[in-house]
Amino acid sequence: MNYDTCWRRLTTVYEADEAKAIVRLMLDLRFGLSWTDIVCGKVEELSADEQRELELMMQRLETGEPVQYVLGVAEFGPRQFHVEPGVLIPRPETYELCQWILTQTPAKWKGRILDIGTGSGCIACTLAAERPDAEVTAWDISDAALRIAAVNAKRAHVLVSFEKTDVLQLEKASSPQTGTADALQSGRDGRWDVVVSNPPYICEKEKKTMERNVLAHEPALALFVPDHDPLLFYRAIARYAVRSLRPEGRLFFEINPLYAEEMKQMLQETGFSHVETRKDMFDKQRFMCAWKTFIKI
């Protein structure tokens, strides 16, 4: 098997350029082959065991399974995170959200950060790594996500407190076993300096515009909201954040550009004094920050 054979097999699923990029990534991260190695025919020199492994990986890729799941890792900024089908694959846009948060906090900052819907833990672990003096907590409703996020915290050598919490139940009485009762109690004393979330925000009606491999392999729990209530998670998180943030605390969101104006209005009506929106690398309104009390310097 050689490089050309590999990428051509994937053209039933991907465009040629994307197929080539996927195969190069796989050969690099799993087999340590550089582009020079590939050009020099090193793929054909892989051992018999490596050739068998490569074939199994190719078979998975041919089904449309994302290369990150096949490799078991996804790049996020300067770090690699372990991923499995139980968590959303980290996107480069989300790393931009982390960078925005980091510009708002000094290097030796000792604040408290809450990441809601942590998934792979990419946001929480990145912030914990870049702000090692901060106290970082991460919530998710998924046991699989919490397990994977804990693995990533260990890989990144950071300390993050992971808790199973259903954000949609924050305003309801709940048993302590869910973590929700404790979360509510801790939120009443202005515990957090920063609350950040990249919650599910894709409406069911948007499925027809999405890539097939995303729909078939990434967790629906982390992607979709009902068509009739696109701000379902944002509203719940905003209500919690407005009472649990410290006076000058900030709420950061990754958002669906289709609902940017509705988001801004909802945050203002919830009680945030200032709302700022930023575009991502693709020039889409993708991020939003809301201040509990805004002081212009």
Residues 273 and 293: their CA atoms lie apart, in Å, by: 6
Q: Judge if 103 and 142 occupy the same domain.
A: yes
Tell me the pLDDT band of 242, cut-offs 50, 70 and 90: very high
**Residue 280, SS3?**
coil
- Residue 169, in any domain of the structure: yes
Q: Judge if 113 and 11 occupy the same domain.
A: no
Q: Judge if 187 and 285 occupy the same domain.
A: yes
For 120-153, how does the pLDDT look when each residue is reduced to its tens digit (9 = 90+)? 999 999 999 999 999 999 999 999 999 999 999 9
pLDDT at residue 297 tops 50? no
pLDDT score, position 173:
36
Mean of pLDDT values over 75-104:
95
For 258-295, how does the pLDDT look when each residue is reduced to its tens digit (9 = 90+)? 999 999 999 999 999 899 999 999 999 999 999 987 65
87 and 114 in contact (C-beta within 8 Å)?
A: no
Q: Cα 174 vs. chain centroid, distance in angstroms?
A: 27
Specify the range with the lowest mean pLDDT, choosing from 1-10, 85-94, 225-234: 225-234
Q: In this structure, which amino acid lies at residue 283?
A: D
pLDDT score, position 202:
74
For 25-54, how does the pLDDT look when each residue is reduced to its tens digit (9 = 90+)? 999 999 999 999 999 999 999 999 999 999
Radius of gyration of the chain (CA): 21
pLDDT score, position 176:
41
CA–CA distances in Å: residue 49 to residues 42, 53, 59, 207, 228: 15, 6, 16, 39, 51
Q: Judge if 59 and 92 occupy the same domain.
A: no
* Residue 20 in tokens: 């080539």
Q: Judge if 35 and 117 occupy the same domain.
A: no
Q: How many domains does the chain have?
A: 2
pLDDT score, position 230:
83
CATH code of 132's domain: 3.40.50.150
pLDDT score, position 61:
96
Domain that holds residue 9: 3-63
Residues 76 and 291: their CA atoms lie apart, in Å, by: 27
Q: Judge if 92 and 228 occupy the same domain.
A: yes
Tell me the pLDDT band of 226, cut-offs 50, 70 and 90: confident
Q: Token pair 């209530």 is at which residue?
A: 229
Q: Is 189 exposed, middle or buried (0-12, 13-18, 19+ CB in 10 A)?
A: exposed
Specify the range with the lowest mean pLDDT, choosing from 21-25, 66-70, 160-164, 182-186: 182-186
pTM metric for this prediction = 0.87
For 172-223, how does the pLDDT look when each residue is reduced to its tens digit (9 = 90+)? 533 344 445 455 444 455 799 999 999 887 766 766 665 666 656 666 666 6
Report strand pairing: 245-254 vs 192-197. parallel
pLDDT score, position 208:
62
Q: Among the three residues 11, 32, 63, which one is the final residue of a domain in this structure?
A: 63
